[in-house]
Amino acid sequence: LRKRCGWSEKLTGCGFRLTKAREVIIEVLKNTKEHLSAEDIYMTMHQEYPEIGLTTVYRTLEVLHSTGIVDKFDFDERRARFELSEEFGSKKHHHHLICTKCQKIVDYFDFMDEEINYLEIVTKGLSKKYDFNIKGHLISFHGICSNCK
């Protein structure tokens, strides 16, 4: 019998497997610099936690994403990649270069001065235009990496 899981239960974890899965997935993501897919995460934890299936990993990642604990990089349904969000992870603020061919995701921290200035202007402008209190941003550039060119 599958237990139904409401919204508030999703936040605290629906049943043991989801709670455990949540802990383990966060741990896996903490211990890597990579942006992992659900399968990557599953493979990493499978040996130690064989009771947690791939479906649970998918579901748990969706919950973690909807609660802002992980950021999601979509390629297609099955190959999305995840990393802990800035608030929960240990990485410094960074932007991404994403290769749409090999799904490589490059973090870069060395922002160009123009980039910083431009983002400040855009942030101020948008805050004003939409009366919106902007707290952060996620920036990804999509394209083809040097290996795939």
At closest approach, how far in Å is the CB of 112 from Zn ion? 11
At closest approach, how far in Å is the CB of 105 from Zn ion? 6
16-24, 47-55, 57-65, 137-145 -> range binding Zn ion (CB under 5 A): 137-145
The DSSP secondary structure of 36-74, one letter per residue, reads EEHHHHHHHHHTT-TTS-HHHHHHHHHHHHHTTSEEEE-
CB 127 within 8 A of CB 133: yes
10-18, 19-27, 75-83, 126-134 -> range binding Zn ion (CB under 5 A): 75-83
At closest approach, how far in Å is the CB of 93 from Zn ion? 6
Q: CA-based angle 17:21:23, to the nearest 5?
A: 125
Strand order in the sheet with 81-84: 36-37, 81-84, 70-73
The pattern of x and - marking residues 94 through 133 that bind Zn ion according to CB under 5 A reads -----x-xx-x--x--------------------------
Which positions lie near Zn ion, rule CB under 5 A?
Answer: 83, 99, 101-102, 104, 107, 145, 148
